[in-house]
């Protein structure tokens, strides 16, 4: 320091200060944060951003699998892969299937998880046991619980034994009009525990005074559930609808294992299953990528609409 002050150029420290402020505007007050978050940022770039771009690229080119390092010509084909995907009846069927799935799964999920969370909220005997019981399916592997559902819903399975003459024919998993609803029901059951926890968290945030005011105004239990609880936890509902839609778009394991690869005539084939079939089994990654891009856009669109619809006042 003494050498600096004694030097004939007293601009030294000032210039250093100026450089620091330039750095600060460039990198922020604590540039170390960049180093801390760099691995995660690179991870997101490599595993989400780049694949999204690559999916779009593949979907607009005549793309096929090659050995690593091989240089081949992959011409630009415009929307050909999209037309190919959309004119494939199997692909169209899978889109219809996922709509059927969502129409059953999402409302059922919202209503059941809201009811159960509401019943579980507050002081209740056996609360811890019940809470754990509700999320056991959520934390278990799909492959494991699919196994027991296969057993329960097989032709001579326990469900049909209980139903007796009412058992559907053909049986659940090979019945083209029951396979997809059963899968929707299965996924509702499996995921419900997470949504119950989300609603329980949201219920803590509804002010007690609102319930007191409602009961003073003569509102019954159902009335205050509808007029106080439901609006009070609307952000949680947005989240539940969003997460269950995304889970639905991800559907693969259940149709693959529960209905033995898409069910009768592709009655329970999900878009991800069709992507796997067309893309990897049959070697048409370009068409499969086009399906993927359309679905990602579809999910983002649903998310936006859902946010708008549920968050308006």
Partner 1 sequence: MTTVTSGVPVVDLPDPDDPHDEPEHKDHRATSWPKMILLSLGALAFLFPFYYMLIGSLQEEPDTSVAGAFPTDGFTLHNYSQINERVNLVRSLINSGIFTGGVILCTLVFGILAGYALARLHYRGAGTLFAALLLVQLVPFQLLIIPLYVMIVRSYGLADSYAGMILPFAISSTAVFIFRQFFLQLPEELFSAARIDGAGELRILWSIALPLVRPAILTAVLLTFIGPWNEFLWPFLITKEADLQPLAVSLANYISNVAGRAANPYGAILAGACVLAAPAITLFVVFQRHFTASDIGSGVKG
Give, as ranges, the residues between 129 and 148 that touch partner 1 (CB under 8 A): 129-148
Residue whose structure tokens are 């669109």: 301
- Taking the least distance from each CB to partner 1, the nearer of 18 and 49 is 49
Stretch that binds partner 1, among 30-38, 73-81, 209-217, 225-233 (CB under 8 A): 30-38
**The one among 88, 171, 252, 264 contacting partner 1 by CB under 8 A:** 252
- Taking the least distance from each CB to partner 1, the nearer of 116 and 180 is 116
Buried b (16+ CB within 10 A) or exposed e, 67-105: eeeeeeeeeebeebbbebbeebeebebbbebbebbbebb
3-state helix, strand, coil in the chain (%, to 5): 75, 0, 25
The angle formed by the CA atoms of residues 33, 49 and 88, to the nearest 5 degrees, is: 160
CA proximity to 192, closest of 120, 103, 117, 119: 117
Per rule CB under 8 A, is residue 99 in the interface with partner 1? no
Q: How far is the CB of 77 from partner 1 (least distance, A)?
A: 16
- Give the tokens for residue 307: 């946010």
Q: How far is the CB of 25 from partner 1 (least distance, A)?
A: 8
- Taking the least distance from each CB to partner 1, the nearer of 103 and 148 is 148
Per rule CB under 8 A, is residue 166 in the interface with partner 1? no
Footprint of partner 1 on residues 55-84 (CB under 8 A)?
55, 58, 65-68
Q: How far is the CB of 148 from partner 1 (least distance, A)?
A: 4
- Residues forming beta bridges with residue 61, ordered by sequence position: 76
- Give the tokens for residue 293: 């891009």
Footprint of partner 1 on residues 175-234 (CB under 8 A)?
189, 192-194, 197-198, 200-205
Footprint of partner 1 on residues 270-289 (CB under 8 A)?
271-272, 275-276, 279-280, 285, 288-289
Per rule CB under 8 A, is residue 37 in the interface with partner 1? yes
Backbone angles phi, psi at 78, to 5 degrees: 65, -135
Q: What number of chain residues touch partner 1 (CB under 8 A)?
A: 110
Per rule CB under 8 A, is residue 246 in the interface with partner 1? yes
Residues sharing a CB contact under 8 Å with residue 137, sequence separation 6 or more, in sequence order: 145, 189, 190, 191, 192, 193
């Amino acid at each position: 320091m003494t050498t600096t002050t004694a030097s004939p150029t007293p601009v030294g420290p000032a210039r250093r200060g100026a450089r620091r402020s330039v750095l600060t505007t460039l990198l922020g007050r604590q540039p170390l944060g960049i180093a801390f978050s760099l691995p995660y940022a690179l991870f997101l770039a490599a595993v989400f951003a780049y694949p999204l771009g690559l999916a779009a690229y593949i979907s607009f080119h005549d793309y096929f699998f090659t050995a690593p390092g091989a240089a081949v010509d992959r011409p630009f084909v415009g929307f050909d892969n999209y037309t190919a995907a959309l004119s494939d009846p199997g692909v169209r069927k899978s889109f219809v299937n996922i709509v059927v799935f969502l129409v059953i799964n999402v409302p059922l999920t919202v209503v059941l998880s809201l009811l159960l969370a509401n019943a579980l909220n507050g002081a209740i005997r056996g609360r811890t046991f019940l809470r754990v019981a509700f999320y056991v399916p959520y934390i278990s592997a799909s492959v494991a619980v699919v196994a027991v559902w296969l057993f329960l819903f097989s032709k001579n399975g326990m469900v049909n034994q209980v139903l007796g003459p009412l058992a559907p024919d053909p049986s659940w998993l090979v019945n083209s009009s029951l396979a997809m609803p059963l899968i929707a029901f299965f996924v509702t059951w499996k995921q419900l525990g997470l949504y119950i926890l989300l609603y329980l968290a949201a219920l803590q945030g509804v002010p007690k005074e609102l319930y007191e005011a409602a009961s003073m105004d003569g509102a019954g239990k159902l009335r205050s559930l509808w007029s106080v609880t439901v609006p009070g936890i609307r952000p949680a509902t947005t989240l539940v609808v969003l997460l269950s839609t995304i889970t639905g778009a991800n559907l693969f394991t259940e149709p693959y294992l529960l209905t033995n690869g898409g069910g009768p005539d592709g009655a329970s084939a999900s878009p991800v299953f069709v992507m796997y079939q067309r893309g990897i089994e049959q070697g048409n990654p370009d068409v499969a990528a086009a399906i993927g891009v359309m679905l990602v856009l579809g999910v983002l669109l649903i998310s936006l609409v859902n946010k708008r619809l549920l968050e308006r006042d």
